C-alpha cells in the first residue's frame, strides 16, 4: 500500500486516505496526505465521498470493497474502482484448512464462501492488482477471470545497491513475521518443534533469533536461550536484525502472495531457506537466493550447509540481487501500471461494457449489501 501511495503521488494525484480503523502505536506517518476517519455502515460516508468526487478509488482488499464499494459507485459512478488484493485470501484460507486437516492442498479447496466473495469483488472492480504471477494463473485458469480486469504488479523495489556485511561478519539465524498472521505463527512452531533441534545438533553454538509483533505469552514461553532459541518480540527495524544474521529461516506451510520477509532478506544480502510456498511467485526462472525445500529434515540439513559454506552463501546472496533486479524493478512495473491506467481511463465505458459479469454482480451486490448496511445503520441509531 505504501508503494502504491508513492506511485500515485509521483503521478501528481491528490491523495485522500480514508479508514475506519483507529490510529495505532506503530501506524505509518502519511505526510502530506489527507487522512479521513470514516464509519462503517453509515451514510455519512456517502455524503463525504460525493463531495470529494474522486477520479480513482483504491480499495484495500476485498472486504473494504464489500463495505464501501456500493456506496462509492452510487455516489461517484464515474470513478475508476481499483482493488488492491494484497494476496488471494481464498488461497491462503484453503491452504490453512488443508494443513489443519493434515492433508495436501488441492485446487478444488479454493471453492469456498471466501472465494465467492473475493472473486465477486474482483469482477465488480474496473481493475484488480495482483501481486503474484501464481495468483494471476489461478484467477485466469481456475476462476476464469479475464485478464482484462487484472493487472500484475508485485512489490516495487529500487535497484539493489549492495553494501552489506559479508559472510564472516555475520552470525546466527533469524526468522521474522507478524504473529497475528497464522502462517508466521505456524512457521515458528515448525522451527521450535522440528527444524531448530536438527540444526542445533549440527551447529551446537548457533542461535536462532525470532522476531514478530503481537507475541503472546504462549509464544514467549517458547524461548529457550540454553538451546539457542530466542523469542524476541517486535523488531524496531527489521532490516537491521536481518542484516546481522547469516541465514533467514522461513518454513512456511501455508499462505499466499509474496513474502515481504524474503524480499527484505534479499535486499539485506541475507540468503534464506524456505519452502515452495515461501518462494512462490518469486522464483520465476531464477536461481533461488538460498534453498527451497519442503521436507523439514532436508530443510534443516540444507540450512546448515548454507550457513557453513561460504561459496554457497555468496552465490545465494548474488542470486537474491538478481531476483530483485529481474522481477521487482520499480521502474519497469511503475511504467507498466501507468500505461495500464492511462488505457483504462481512455476506454472506461467500453471496458465496463465488456465485463457483464461485473455489472451483474454490482447490481445484486448493491441491492443486498446496501440493504444490509442500511439495516445496521438504523439498528445502531436505535441504541
How much is the pLDDT for 379? 79
Q: Where are the domains of the chain?
A: 2-156+330-381, 167-327
Least Cα distance to 106 among 93, 116, 118, 94 occurs for 94
- Reported for 142-151, long-range contacts at CB under 8 A and 24+ positions apart, including other chains, are 142/107, 142/110, 143/110, 143/115, 143/119, 145/119, 146/355, 148/351, 148/354, 148/355, 149/122, 149/123, 149/125, 149/355, 149/358, 150/122, 151/127, 151/337, 151/340
How much is the pLDDT for 82? 98
Q: What is the pLDDT along the chain (383 residues), one digit of tens a residue?
A: 889 999 999 999 999 999 998 887 777 777 778 889 999 989 999 999 999 999 999 999 999 999 999 999 999 999 999 999 999 999 999 999 999 999 999 999 999 999 999 999 999 999 999 999 999 999 999 999 999 999 999 999 877 666 789 999 999 999 999 999 999 999 999 999 999 999 999 999 999 999 999 999 999 999 999 999 999 999 989 999 999 999 999 999 999 999 999 999 999 999 999 999 999 999 777 799 999 999 999 999 999 999 999 999 999 999 999 999 999 999 999 999 999 999 999 999 999 999 999 999 988 765 666 777 777 887 788 76
For the chain, the residue count is 383
The dihedral over CA atoms of 239, 242, 246, 247, expressed in degrees to the nearest 10, equals: -130
pTM of the predicted model as reported, rounded to 2 decimal places? 0.90
- What secondary structure letter does DSSP report for 329? B
How much is the pLDDT for 366? 59
How much is the pLDDT for 283? 79
Write down the CATH number for the domain with range 167-327: 3.40.50.2000
User: Within 13 Å and on the Cβ side, how many CA atoms surround 210?
Assistant: 27
Residues 115-157: pLDDT tens digits?
999 999 999 999 999 999 999 999 999 999 999 999 999 999 8
How much is the pLDDT for 369? 67
CB 351 within 8 A of CB 344: yes
How much is the pLDDT for 371? 72
- Domain 2-156+330-381, what architecture? 3-Layer(aba) Sandwich (3.40)
Amino acid at each position: 500500500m505504501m508503494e502504491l501511495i508513492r506511485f500515485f503521488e509521483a503521478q501528481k494525484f491528490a491523495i485522500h486516505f480514508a479508514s475506519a480503523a483507529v490510529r495505532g502505536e506503530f501506524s505509518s506517518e502519511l505526510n502530506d496526505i489527507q487522512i479521513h476517519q470514516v464509519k462503517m455502515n453509515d451514510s455519512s460516508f456517502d455524503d463525504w465521498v460525493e463531495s470529494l468526487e474522486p477520479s480513482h478509488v483504491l480499495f484495500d482488499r476485498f472486504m473494504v470493497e464489500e463495505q464501501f464499494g456500493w456506496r462509492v459507485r452510487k455516489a461517484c459512478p464515474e470513478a475508476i474502482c481499483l482493488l488492491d488484493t494484497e494476496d488471494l485470501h481464498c488461497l491462503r484460507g484453503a491452504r490453512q484448512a488443508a494443513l489443519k486437516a493434515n492433508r495436501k492442498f488441492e485446487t478444488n479447496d479454493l471453492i469456498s464462501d471466501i472465494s465467492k466473495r473475493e472473486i465477486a469483488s474482483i469482477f465488480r472492480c474496473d481493475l484488480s492488482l495482483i501481486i503474484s504471477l501464481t495468483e494471476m494463473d489461478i484467477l485466469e485458469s481456475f476462476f476464469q477471470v479475464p485478464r482484462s480486469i487484472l493487472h500484475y504488479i508485485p512489490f516495487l523495489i529500487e535497484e539493489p545497491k549492495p553494501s552489506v556485511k559479508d559472510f564472516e561478519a555475520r552470525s546466527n539465524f533469524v526468522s521474522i513475521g507478524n504473529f497475528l498472521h497464522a502462517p508466521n505463527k505456524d512457521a515458528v512452531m515448525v522451527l521450535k518443534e522440528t527444524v531448530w533441534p536438527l540444526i542445533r545438533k549440527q551447529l551446537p553454538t548457533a542461535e536462532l533469533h525470532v522476531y514478530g509483533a503481537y507475541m503472546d505469552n504462549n509464544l514467549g514461553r517458547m524461548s529457550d536461550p540454553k538451546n539457542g532459541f530466542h523469542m524476541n518480540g517486535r523488531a524496531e527495524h527489521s532490516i537491521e536484525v536481518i542484516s546481522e544474521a547469516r541465514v533467514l529461516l522461513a518454513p512456511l506451510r501455508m499462505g499466499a502472495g509474496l513474502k515481504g520477509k524474503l524480499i527484505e532478506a534479499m535486499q539485506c544480502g541475507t540468503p534464506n531457506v524456505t519452502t515452495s510456498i515461501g518462494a512462490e511467485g518469486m522464483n520465476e526462472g531464477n536461481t533461488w537466493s538460498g534453498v527451497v525445500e519442503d521436507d523439514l529434515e532436508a530443510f534443516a540439513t540444507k540450512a546448515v550447509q548454507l550457513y557453513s559454506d561460504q561459496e554457497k552463501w555468496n552465490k545465494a546472496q548474488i542470486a537474491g540481487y538478481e531476483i530483485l533486479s529481474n522481477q521487482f524493478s520499480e521502474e519497469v512495473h511503475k511504467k507498466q501500471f501507468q500505461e495500464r491506467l492511462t488505457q483504462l481511463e481512455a476506454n472506461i465505458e467500453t471496458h465496463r461494457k465488456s465485463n457483464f459479469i461485473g455489472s451483474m454482480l454490482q447490481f445484486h451486490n448493491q441491492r443486498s449489501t446496501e440493504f444490509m448496511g442500511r439495516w445496521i445503520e438504523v439498528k445502531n441509531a436505535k441504541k
